[in-house]
Chains A and B, each alone.
Chain A
Amino acid sequence: MNDRLIKDLQDLIDQYKTYGMVAELYIFYSSDDDDTLKVLKSYNQNVLQTDFNTEQTFVSDEKIDDDIRHQIINQFQLDSLLHSTRSGSFQLFPGVKYGGNWPVEVGHDLLNAINRHILTVVENWAIKEEIDRYKESSSNMIAEMGALHEISRVIDSKENIDSILSYILQRAMDLLKAEAASLMLKIEETNELEFKVVFGPAASQKIKPFRLKVGQGISGWVADHGKPILIPDAYADQRFDPSFDQKTGFKTKSYLCVPMIYKSRIYGVVTLLNRLDGRPFNENDQELLTTFASQAALAIENTQLLQTAIEKERIDKELQVAAEIQRLLIPDQLTNIPDMDIAATYIPCKSVSGDYYDVIKINDNQYVFIVADVAGKGIPGAMLVSNMSAMLKTYLEHSTNLKVIVERLNTRIMLNTTDDRYITFFIALYNVKDKTLTYINAGHNPPLLIDHQQNVTRLKKGGIFIGCLNWTYEQETINIPDNSLLILYTDGLIEAMNSKEEEFGEDKLIGILKDNRTAKSDKIQKKIIKAIYEHVGNTSFEDDFTLILARH
């Protein structure tokens, strides 16, 4: 039997004994799930519970077997033992030894009264139990709601954070019966708190975007220390600042402010003002609100993670698009030039840059080499190269005057770009008949010409990179001797670094070219790429690079 019920019944027994109405009162009882009969009695003023020793199984028809009745009456020397009274899962039998000479009828009435009294106690107890169960189930319900909310939050996390925070605050406000509620978020950059969601009478009064410093006022203290503040009576507490009330006309009575913490990071604070039932907030309210606040923090954390993921996806997508543009720009197949053995390659790295190269046939006698590198990665860089390539091809249809073409291109690109974006650019016109190369180098790594005597010429005449400043470019024409080797490349090649941050360097490149000058272009190209991979080792390429070899 439940301890509390036993206590209540023993109190009752004591009461009757104290009144002197009975010499001894026993309550025999049995529960449905336990067949043994037990007895409650007083003993020397102390009330004890003892097992009533009976071999015989107790009957379920709510009457005690006559044999047992007699046994009980004899054993306890009772004047009377009532038939069983059922209450819930219990059967109870009050047994009495009278304290005086009561007439039988009166004694019987007394016993009946006592019996009713016992029943009342048991019923009260049952109601109390019911209330407790209800309390327990309602607190379970709260926990369940929290869990449900958790699930719905996960599902809805793609919703914007504002609506999630509003939802959480609204639930907290409803559950804690608060008159007003607010949620403030911490702004890391300025170390301030800003109102995000406000509910209640003050909310309708258009609260302007309102910020306060972390550390300032109650909310600021909570955001600073990560600990809750519970103020049962606001105007009796020095920490409370009534200026907000004065502004809004709201009357703060009870004040509860808790931090929004997730994984020891403070995201903001949640504040509730005044319970609608008039009583002040208590520790339970604080505990419950803390749970809601940490859910809000979790929601923010999740949203931030999601945003990071989306941003990453966007960048990946952008790089994909840029890589696609670049792939389309770089020729699948190189134009053949008579008397020239040409090889070209493009080695991409993890980030897409704006390398570009091409060999364009003007007529049977004239061919144009181009290599370019745009400063600035991603789609803008790729678009700029694409733009430049289209313009260049158009110009080349009308003219082969490189100076005019480059200067026009420079002006056009200047108009099309931001002031920090530019293209390093090398263009050369090869004349098959004359064996001459006319070129302009616009700020590009100088292509190298190595003749049969291993003399190295760096093709650096020209001017500043295009797209930045108005410029008058210089142009130079050189002879291409027989058995010479021309190499055009982008800076990613010689700037490829190993783990010690040492660059591959132009000297190393020239060394390979000299050693292999008589080999076929694609062989030389393979040697260079192999050497670069060996140099870089396990390090990944910082920059992509382009390489064009032309052997005469």
Chain B
Amino acid sequence: MQFNIHTITDKDIIVIDAPKRLTSDISDDLKSIMKEYVDREKYNIIINLEETEFIDSSGLGAIVSKISITRSNNGDIKLAAPQRYVVDLLEVTHLNKVIEILDSVEEAIEGFEK
């Protein structure tokens, strides 16, 4: 598993560090991690894209897979610290309009607090 996961217990937030390349071979892992947390009623998820240089369609699929369910439970998925390439990709796919993108994990955490 190529994901570091941090739990910010007092704020009930899960931070998942995405790997360098989020492609079909590991997107399933990200999907099942998110599913696991959602199943445990953890609906505040931050995906830290700081290290991520490339995301393919399966990676995007994994990111969006739990948007609906988190939102319908008053939670959300936020993306933190994406690199230039990823920002372009999020714009092309219009995901930037769907998901809140923040410059750092700290800002994303603050975002949940509001």
Question: Which residues of A approach B to under 8 Å, CB–CB?
Answer: 373, 375-376, 418-422, 424, 441-446, 460, 462-465, 468-469, 471, 491, 495
Contact = CB atoms under 8 A, between A and B. Distances in A.
Contacts of B8: none
Q: Which 7 A-B pairs have the closest CB atoms?
A: A375-B57, A420-B61, A443-B93, A420-B65, A419-B65, A464-B94, A375-B61
Secondary structure of the A contact surface, majority rule: loop
A494 to B, nearest CB: 11
A421 B92 contact: no
Given A465-B94, A469-B67, 7 more contacts: A419-B66, A420-B27, A422-B61, A422-B64, A443-B92, A463-B97, A468-B67
B61 A463 contact: no
Given A373-B57, A419-B68, A424-B57, A464 B93 contact: yes
Nearest to A458: B92
A418 B66 CA distance: 11
Contact of A468 (B27, B56, B64, B97): B64
A420 B68 CA distance: 11
Nearest to A470: B68
A442 B31 CA distance: 23
A424 B93 contact: yes
A471 B93 CA distance: 13
B94 A420 contact: no
Nearest to B63: A420
Contact of A469 (B31, B57, B61, B64): B64
A464 B57 contact: no
A464 B93 CA distance: 6
Contacts, number: 59
Contact of B94 (A443, A491, A495): A443
Contacts of A463: 94, 97
Contacts of A419: 64-66, 68-69
A419 B92 CA distance: 20
Interface in B21-79: 27, 31, 56-58, 60-62, 64-69
Interface residues of B, number: 21
A549 B68 CA distance: 37
A424 B65 CA distance: 15
A491 B57 contact: yes
A464 B58 contact: no
A462 B27 CA distance: 26
B95 A464 contact: yes
A243 B98 CA distance: 62
B22 to A, nearest CB: 13
Nearest to A422: B61
Contacts of B97: 463-464
B60 to A, nearest CB: 7
Contact of A445 (B31, B58, B60, B92): B92
A460 B92 contact: yes
A420 B62 contact: yes
A444 B92 CA distance: 7
B67 A375 contact: no
Nearest to A417: B61
A464 B61 contact: no
24 contacts: A373-B57, A375-B58, A376-B57, A376-B58, A419-B69, A420-B27, A420-B61, A420-B64, A421-B61, A422-B60, A422-B64, A442-B94, A443-B93, A443-B94, A443-B95, A460-B92, A463-B94, A463-B97, A464-B93, A464-B95, A464-B97, A465-B60, A469-B98, A471-B98
